[in-house]
Structure 1
Amino acid sequence: MATILDSVDQRTKLVGENRLELLIFQMHTGQLFAINVFKVKEVVKLPKLNRLPGSHPHITGVANIRGASIPVIDLRQAIGMRGDQQEGECNIIITEYNRSVQAFLVGQVMNIVNLTWADIQPPPKQVGKNNYLTAITKVPRDGMDRLVSIIDVEKVLAEIVDYDIQISNGVLDNTIINHFVGKKVLIVDDSSTARAQIRDTLSQLGLEVIEASDGLKALTLLKGWCDSGKSVHDEIMMMFTDAEMPEMDGYKLTYEIRNDPRMNDLFIALNTSLSGSFNEAMVEKVGCDRFISKFQPDLLVEVVQDRLRTILSHCK
C-alpha cells in the first residue's frame, strides 16, 4: 500500500497552481472520505498495536513503525461514527500535522485523485457547526459521481491534544502593546478550529480579527475594499492565511494579491500545518513574508509584534 504514495515528492508542482491531490479511503461504510496527500507520510496495513492505559479514548494504541512509536487514532470513532472499525480490511494513514506525527486507523485506502481547489466546496451549512469536515467534493467512481467528505483533521487533533493559547512570560513587548488597540488582522482558514486558535491568541493583545473561510472569500473582501477606494493598509495590518482551502488555496491567494498593485505590499504570513521545508520553498515562490507552523501562540505573537514595530518605525 505504501507504493501509492511513492511519487508524493514529485507532486509539489500542483501546489501554487490551485490544485491538490486527495487520498481517498473508506471506514467500513460505503461513504468516501479524504485527506490531502501532502499531509500523508505513508500508508501501511494495520500492525500490532500496543495499548496505552489511560490514553485518550480515540487513541486505539501505539504502532512501532521502523523504530518510531506512532499513536494511532481511530478516525471513525473520533468523528462520531458508530460501529467497530477493526473488522475487515484495516490500514493506518501516517500523517504529519503541526510538527507532530500520528496515524489514523481507517478501512480500505482506495486511490489518489487530482483536483483543482475550485472543485472543493465548503460543507453545507445544514450539517451544523459541530461537523468534522472542512470541505466536500465529488469524484467519478463506478460510473457515477460519488460524494467525498474531506476530514477536518485539525479539529480531530484539537479534541485529543489541547492546543494552548497561553502566551509565555517574556514574549509580550510591553513597549508596544498599547499600539495594538484598534488594529485588525485578517485570518483566512477553512478550519474553524485553526481560526479560533489564532483569534483567541491575538485577541489577548487587543487586536481585532476579521475571518474568511477560504482564499476566494478573502480575495473578494480585499478587492472590495480597493474597489470602494479604501486602502487595505487602513483596514488591516497583516493577513494570516492557511495553505489548503476550498475554491482558492493560500498560495493562489498570495499570488493574486502580489499581482494587484493596489495591495501588492500587504504583509502575508502563511500559517499552515504542512511540512516546513516544503512551505519554505512555496513561500519564496509565491511571495509570502513569513511562514509559521500552526498552533504556536508565542510565534504568532512574535510575528504580529514584528509587523507592528515595522509599522511604527515608518510612522516616525
Structure 2
Amino acid sequence: MAGVLDTVNQRTQLVGENRLELLLFRLNGKQIYGINVFKVKEVLQCPKLTTMPHSSPVVRGVAHIRGGTIPILDLGLATGASPMENISQCFVIITEYNRRIQGFLVRGVERIVNMNWSDIQPPPKGLSNDNYLTAVCQVDKEMVEIIDVEQILSEVAPTRQDISEGIINAGVTENARKHHILIVDDSSVARKQIKRCMEQVGFATTVLCDGREALTFLQNLVAEGKDVTKEFSMVISDIEMPEMDGYTLTTSIRNDSRLQDLFILLHTSLSGVFNESMVKKVGADGFLAKFQPDELASLAIQTVQAQSEE
C-alpha cells in the first residue's frame, strides 16, 4: 500500500502513446474498479469528515486537507450500491476533474497497472451499474470497471449547461448553421453537454464515442471521395477514451495527408495535471478543460469565423 501511495504523484507525470495507468481500488465487494492515475492527486487514509447540511447523500462530508476544504464522495452510494461503513478505515482518492478537486471514498486501494487504451473496451450491455461505467478491461483475468466520474459529478454537483447572454447573436447563428462539428467522447454526459452547447450556437453536430470509431469514420468519408475539411469545420475530442485516446487520434489524423488539415480541439477533464507540451507534440490546434459552455462556444465561434475569412 505504501508503495502505491508514495508513487501516485510521480505517475501522474506519465504521458504515453495510447497508454494509461490505472489505480485499482475496491468498494464494498470483490469487484475491482480503476481510475486513471492522471486524475489522481493523492491517496490517503480517510481523515475526519465534517458533515454538510443540505448536501447530497453521496457527499459524506468535507475534509480539511493541505489548507483546502474538499468534498468527499462515497463511490458506493454514487453508483447505486451500499454506502461505505467504518469510514475511518477507508481510503480517500483525491482527484481533479473538470477544474474541481474532490475526494472519492473507497474501501481499499490496491496497485497501479500500466495499460494500453486498445485494451480498454466500452462496457458490455446489461451490467447492473452500466449507467455509471465508461469502460472495462481485464487485469489478471479479472474484469476492472472504470467509472464514469463525469456522470457522477453531474448528478452530485450539476454544472451550468446554457451559454451566457451576449455570446450568441443572429450573425453568429447564421454563420454557425453553415458549419458541422464532429464530437468525440466516451462519456455519455460529456457528449450530451458538448452537443447541447454546439447546437445552442447553431452548429450541426455528429457525435461518436471513441477515437478508433472517429478515425474509421473519417477514413471512410475520404474513401468515398469526400473532403473532410468541407464536411467538418472542427473536431472536438476527449483525450481519455477506450480503444484509442485523443492523443493517438490526433497523431493519426495529422499523419494522414487526407485528414491532416482538420482543426482539432482536445477537450478534457484532465485540467490540473495536463501536460501542455503534449498538445503541441501531437499537433492539436488547441486545448480546453471541461466543462465551461461559454469558453467552448466562444472558441468554436472564433474558429469558424476565422475559417470563413480565409
Q: Which amino acid aligns with 2:177?
A: V
Instruction: Verify: 1:266 aligned to 2:262, yes or no.
Output: yes
In 1, the alpha carbon distance for the partners of 2:13 and 2:66 equals 29
Paired position in structure 1 for 2:45: 45
SS in 1 for 2:274: helix
- Kindly tell me the number of residue pairs found equivalent between the two proteins: 310
Quick check: 1:275 aligned with 2:267? no
CA distance in 2, matches of 1:81, 1:64: 26
Gaps of 5+ in 1: none
3-state secondary structure, aligned to 2:60: strand
Q: Distance in 2 between matches of 1:129 and 1:302?
A: 36
Q: Does 1:31 align with 2:31?
A: yes
**What are the within-5 Å matches in structure 2 for residues 47-62 of structure 1?**
47-62=47-62
The equivalent of 2:294 in structure 1 is 298
Distance 1:70 1:6, change over 3 A: same
Please list, as runs of the form range in 1=range in 2, the aligned pairs for 1:64-79 lying within 5 A after superposition.
64-79=64-79
Q: Is 2:223 aligned against 1:227?
A: yes
Q: Distance in 2 between matches of 1:70 and 1:83?
A: 19
One-letter code aligned to 1:166:
D
- State the partner residue of 1:208: 204
Alpha-carbon shift at residue 57 of structure 1 (Å): 1.1
2:271 maps to 1:310 = no
**What SS class does the counterpart of residue 176 from structure 1 fall into?**
helix
Q: Do the aligned residues in 2 keep the contact of 1:2 with 1:44 (CA within 8 Å)? A: no
5 Å matches for 1:150-169? 150-169=146-165
Structure 1 vs Structure 2 CA RMSD: 1.9
Q: CA deviation at 1:276?
A: 5.0
Contact 2:26 2:109 in 1 (8 A): yes
SS in 1 for 2:279: helix
- Aligned residue type for 2:235: M
Alignment partner of 1:189 out of 185, 191, 209: 185
Map of 1:93 onto structure 2: 93
Give the whole-Å Cα distance in 2 for the aligned partners of 1:14 and 1:228.
38
Deviations 1:249-278 (A, max 9, x none): 000000000000011010000000102562
Structure 2 SS opposite 1:64: strand
CA contact (8 A) 1:61 1:71 kept: yes
Q: Deviations over 1:24-46 (max 9, x none)?
A: 00012111011100000000001
C-alpha deviation, 1:220, in angstroms: 0.3
From 237, 241, 246, give the equivalent of 1:245: 241
The alpha carbon displacement at 1:87 in A equals 5.9
Q: For residues 87 and 62 of structure 2, what CA distance do their matches in structure 1 show?
A: 18
Partner Cα separation in structure 1 for residue 225 and residue 272 of structure 2: 37
Q: Residue 93 of structure 1 aligns to which amino acid in structure 2? A: I
Partner SS for 2:200: helix
Structure 2 Cα separation of the partners of residues 83 and 67 of structure 1: 27
Instruction: Pick closer, same or farther for the CA change 1:5–1:261 going to 2, 3 Å.
Output: farther
Q: Offset at 1:8?
A: 4.6
Q: What's the offset of the Cα at 1:173? A: 4.9
Matching residue of 2:174: 178
Contact 2:12 2:40 in 1 (8 A): no
Change (3 A) 1:199 1:158: same
> Are the aligned partners of 1:88 and 1:107 in contact in 2 as well (CA < 8 Å)?
no
1:16–1:286 CA contact under 8 A, matched in 2: no
C-alpha contact (below 8 Å) 2:12/2:273 kept by paired residues: no
Secondary structure (helix, strand or coil) at the match of 1:301 reads: helix
1:15 maps to what in 2? 15
Aligned residue identity for 1:135: A
Measure how far apart 1:84 and its partner are: 4.0
Q: Secondary structure at the match of 2:93?
A: strand
Match of 2:144 in 1: 148
In 2, Cα distance between equivalents of 1:71 and 1:137 = 29
Partner of 1:104: 104
Q: Please, which runs of 5 or more residues in structure 2 have no aligned partner?
A: none
Match for 1:132: what amino acid?
Answer: Y
Query: Secondary structure in 2 aligned to 1:310?
Result: helix
Report Cα offsets for 1:45-74 as digits up to 9, x if no partner.
011100111111110000111221110000
> Given that residues 96 and 272 in structure 2 are in contact (C-alpha distance below 8 angstroms), is that contact kept between their aligned partners in structure 1?
no
Task: Among all aligned residue pairs of Structure 1 and Structure 2, give the percentage whose two residues are the same amino acid.
Answer: 50
- SS of corresponding position for 2:131: coil
Query: Which letter maps to 1:268?
Result: I
Judged with a 3 Å threshold, the aligned counterparts in structure 2 of structure 1 residues 84 and 14 are, in CA distance, closer, same or farther, namely: closer
Q: Distance in 2 between matches of 1:213 and 1:85?
A: 36
Letter in 2 for 1:116: N
Cα offsets for 1:72-96 (capped at 9, x unmatched): 0001000101254436841000000
